[in-house]
Amino acid sequence: MIALGVLAAVELGRKRWRARGGDPDDLYVIAFWAVPAGLIGARLYHVATDWRSYQGRWIDAFKIWQGGLGIPGGVALGVAVGLVIAYRRGWRLSAGLDAVIPAIPLAQAIGRLGNWWNQELFGRPTSLPWGVQIDVQHRPLEYIAFSVFQPTFLYEMLWNLALCGVLIFVDKKRVMRPGNILPLYVGLYFAGRLWIEALRIDTASTIGPFRINIWMSIIGIGGAILVFITRGVRRRASDVDEPYRDGHVWSPVIPETTDPSEKEETE
């Protein structure tokens, strides 16, 4: 599901970048570097926030196929590497962020479907009609007597799909400063993660009374608000939208065609 999410995100990013006048094939180059970086960042975040699980067996930290990816770390490192590659290809980064960022929650939403099949990241027991049935072997010991739980992975999937739509809608209105789609994504993503994380019952590291991811959500929301305060929210007359720093706009190469009548005249 992660691979499917990546493919969908790349295609959405290509479509949106092309609509801005950028070369859609740039996204293939950026994804080539950003996707592996995102996976590494996601694994590093998971290990760093759950390091006690790897004490005495640190080699297991490299076994990414056994599961354990932290989205905040994946997005952070993936976006950072993507920005470096985009800059080297001449992108105006504010325009690139506005075009590509909405594709990230789409990838996250599709990737969350995997948690339904492997029965991970569910929430508290529930009697709600949309509760998910969890097999005995996947239930925490303290909840072994319960069979139906909150589908928190579904909540996050729906939240991310809605977030993707909101980002596209806001960007289309052209009311925000170029580049502000990134802090808007960060703030809204962590706002959803905050309440969803509070429902989860899987084992997680804590700081004080709260899970680390709850603290990260608070920091993420605060950081997004700080960005809006420091750089402003609404578009200014001086803001620039060109896709590339040198001002050029990409256009597809149309093969030249020869009119048969012209060919006959030359003969």
State the pLDDT at residue 256: 58
The pLDDT value given to residue 238: 82
Per-residue confidence (pLDDT) for residue 120, from 0 to 100: 83
The sign of the torsion formed by the CA atoms of 74, 79, 84, 85 equals positive
Q: What is the mean pLDDT of residues 96-123?
A: 92
- Segment 62-74 shows an average pLDDT of 81
| Count of helices and strands (H, E) across the chain | 10, 4
Query: Does residue 258 surpass a pLDDT of 90?
Result: no
Going from N- to C-terminal start, the domains of the chain cover 2-56+67-237
Residues 6 or more apart whose Cβ sits within 8 Å of residue 21: 242, 243, 249, 250
Higher pLDDT, 73 or 65: 73
pTM for the full model? Answer: 0.89
Q: Can you tell me the mean pLDDT for 124-145?
A: 92
What pLDDT is stored for residue 20 in this prediction?
93
The pLDDT value recorded for residue 260 is 54
As a whole number of angstroms, the distance between CA 190 and CA 221 comes to 6
The four Cα atoms 172, 175, 176, 178 give a dihedral, to 10 degrees, of: 60
Mean pLDDT to the nearest integer, 236-256: 78
137-185 per-position pLDDT tens digit: 989 899 999 999 999 999 999 999 999 999 999 999 999 999 999 999 9
Considering the chain, what percentage of its residues have pLDDT values greater than 90? 67
Which pLDDT belongs to residue 255? 57
Tell me the C-alpha distance between 121 and 203, whole Å. Answer: 10
What's the average model confidence in pLDDT over 31-59?
Answer: 87
pLDDT at 77 over 70: yes
Three-state DSSP state, 257: coil
In the predicted model, what is the mean pLDDT of the chain? 89
Structure tokens belonging to residue 16: 């949106």
Query: How much is the average pLDDT of 97-118?
Result: 92
Task: Evaluate if residue 25 carries a pLDDT over 80.
Answer: yes
